[in-house]
Structure 1
Amino acid sequence: MELSDIAIFVEAVRAGSLAGAARRLGMNAMAASRRLAALEAELGVRLAHRTTRSLSTTSDGEIFLKHAQALLEEQASALAALRPAAAGVSGQLRVTASAAFGRKVVAPMIAAFMHDNPELHVDLLLTDDQVDIVGQGIDVAVRIAKLRDNHLIARRLADNPRRLCASPAYLKAHGAPRLLSDLAGHSCLLGTGTSHWIFVRNGKAVRHKVTGRFTASSIEAIHQACLGGVGIANLSAWDVADDRRGGLLEAIELEDAEPEPLAIWAVYPTARMVPAKVRAFIAALEQEFGQGRHHPV
């Protein structure tokens, strides 16, 4: 088997078409189709159902995909071991992060990372949805959450404290809550499908029911509604730091509780043969947070 043929199969699955794989690999679609057909002939199985515009794996293709990815990872690791450190990493790196955090923190950091690694290609997926990183071929997910998937490998990057915030106009009109129970008399800005916020009181986590007139599936939309004086939001400290410094938002300190802090994690599919590009990216993330540019206020 030629590793270049295996790479065509893996890229075709990631792109969802042979044409997309061919563009990423710098070849024409006809040649990619012939190479994939040759790989199938050598293996004696059909790996993918394909049309001119789409591609999906067969059951045999789904089984082979994990082995194919492992083979390519081993090749990349072997080549990285032979490259001088100054040459940087190469290949395609697929990263996902939430929309607000990705825009404010990850994307600027990636720009510097790409300058240091001129042969690296990066595909950044920004979404507030929980992404299946294995199913979508993601190399690294940057997540702010309590992790639930024990099948993934996670490295803690930094703390992520949260703040209750409101605009000066909202606080002038409605006053500021002093106790957790006071939130019942306020309009809270909630994620779609959310009915509770989690707080820490006397060292223990408590779920507290909150209500409001505005809900959204996007943290950025909640942030904007908070700036517009619609209500009180529970947002990450890094997300509201500039607005607080500029006087656009004010932090609300309750006397008997505080929002439960989360953590920022780098999540990746496996600890076995982690590609050099993934190791380098996680190291760059750790350096980014270690330099204190995103410390809360």
Structure 2
Amino acid sequence: MLVADLRVFLAVVAAGTLSAAGRQLDISPMQVSRRLASLEEELGVRLFHRTTRAVSLTAEGEALLPYARTMTEAEDNVMGELRPSSGSVKGLLRITAPSVFGQGIVVGLLPALLAQHPELRIDLDVSDKVVDLVGQGMDLALRVAPLADSELVARKLAPNPRVLCASPAYLQRHGQPGTLEALEQHACIMLQAVPRWPFVVDGALQYRRLPARVSTSSVDAVRSAAVQGLGIAMLAYWDVFQQIRDGALVEIALQDAQMEQLAVWAVMPTRRYVPTRVKVFLAALESALASYSQGT
């Protein structure tokens, strides 16, 4: 099976038509059609449903898709290793990240990263939903919540403890709680996905349901409500580190409980054939997280 034919296959999937794929690859639609026919003949299956206007994948085409990506990325990696003098990374890097972390951290990396690697392209999905990496063709997922068991490969990038925080104005009006019992007397801002707050008490994780003054499905909305003085919020460190550093929020420590220790994770479909573009991005991200943690 020729990798060149798989590249044509992937171009048609991305472009949606043979002519658009041909323009992307700088070859004629007839050449695209012949390459696809050759691939289908070799595999003995039909890969696309074709109409006069568009194409769509068959079940066999869907099954081929992740293998095609792996094989083309493997070839790209080999060629990159054989030409280290170029110092540049090519291709499309597809990332999914939580909304606040993606907007606050990942987007900030892109100007320098793209300037250093002019042939690199970024497709960033910013969403609090858990995306199917393999099904959506993602190179990398960044996760800031506890990881569910899966066959995906996870790599810890940085600590990300939960943080209790409130605005200086709120604490001036209502005081700062020092214990779990005192916290129960305060207005709390709830993220709907975390209706009970986790605390570590005497080494054991326990969950407390606290009085909610505001409840929302958005991490960004929880943070904004806290900044505006509506109550005490519990969010992950990397969701509020900038506001704590700037003084818009104050971190609250309890005497009888510690906060749950989470982490920022890089999740990948496989540890084999990790594209160079993924390695370069992760190196930049880890450097940025370390720099922010040190306050530089």
TM-score range (shorter-chain normalised) is: 0.7 to 0.9
Deviation, 1:56, is 4.4
Change in Cα spacing, 1:281 to 1:244, as seen in structure 2 (3 Å) is closer
> How many equivalent residue pairs?
295
CA distance in 2, matches of 1:269, 1:122: 18
Deviation, 1:256, is 0.7
C-alpha contact 1:140 1:278 (8 A) present in aligned 2 = yes
**Structure 1 residues without counterparts, runs of 5 or longer:** none
Mean CA deviation greater in 271-280 or 21-30: 21-30
- Give a deviation string over 1:64-119, Cα, whole Å, max 9, x none: 22321222122112211211244321111111111111112111113212222121
Deviation, 1:241, is 3.2
Residue in structure 2 matched with residue 256 of structure 1 by the alignment: 256
Residue in structure 1 matched with residue 102 of structure 2 by the alignment: 102
Residue in structure 1 matched with residue 183 of structure 2 by the alignment: 183
CA distance in 2, matches of 1:225, 1:19: 50
TM-score, scaled to structure 2: 0.87
| Alignment root-mean-square deviation, CA | 2.9
- Report matched runs for 1:6-155 at 5 Å: 6-13=6-13, 15=14, 17-18=16-17, 22=21, 25=24, 27=26, 30=29, 34=33, 35-49=35-49, 56-155=56-155
- Which letter does structure 2 place at the counterpart of 1:257? A
Deviation, 1:209, is 1.6
- Which letter does structure 2 place at the counterpart of 1:98? P
Change in Cα spacing, 1:157 to 1:139, as seen in structure 2 (3 Å) is same
Residue in structure 2 matched with residue 237 of structure 1 by the alignment: 237
CA distance in 1, matches of 2:54, 2:204: 51
Change in Cα spacing, 1:282 to 1:203, as seen in structure 2 (3 Å) is same
C-alpha contact 2:180 2:254 (8 A) present in aligned 1 = yes
Mean CA deviation greater in 81-90 or 260-269: 81-90
- Which letter does structure 2 place at the counterpart of 1:142? L
Mean CA deviation greater in 49-58 or 87-96: 49-58
Deviation, 1:10, is 2.7
Runs of 4+ more than 6 Å apart: none
Deviation, 1:172, is 3.3
Change in Cα spacing, 1:31 to 1:262, as seen in structure 2 (3 Å) is farther
Residue in structure 1 matched with residue 272 of structure 2 by the alignment: 272
CA distance in 2, matches of 1:155, 1:224: 30
Mean CA deviation greater in 205-214 or 151-160: 205-214
SS at match of 1:214: strand
CA distance in 1, matches of 2:289, 2:243: 20
**Structure 2 residues without counterparts, runs of 5 or longer:** none
CA distance in 1, matches of 2:246, 2:287: 27
- Give a deviation string over 1:26-47, Cα, whole Å, max 9, x none: 5589468624455334433222
CA distance in 1, matches of 2:167, 2:100: 19
Deviation, 1:16, is 7.6
Deviation, 1:245, is 3.8
CA distance in 1, matches of 2:20, 2:222: 37
CA distance in 1, matches of 2:45, 2:252: 62
- Which letter does structure 2 place at the counterpart of 1:126? V
CA distance in 1, matches of 2:54, 2:227: 43
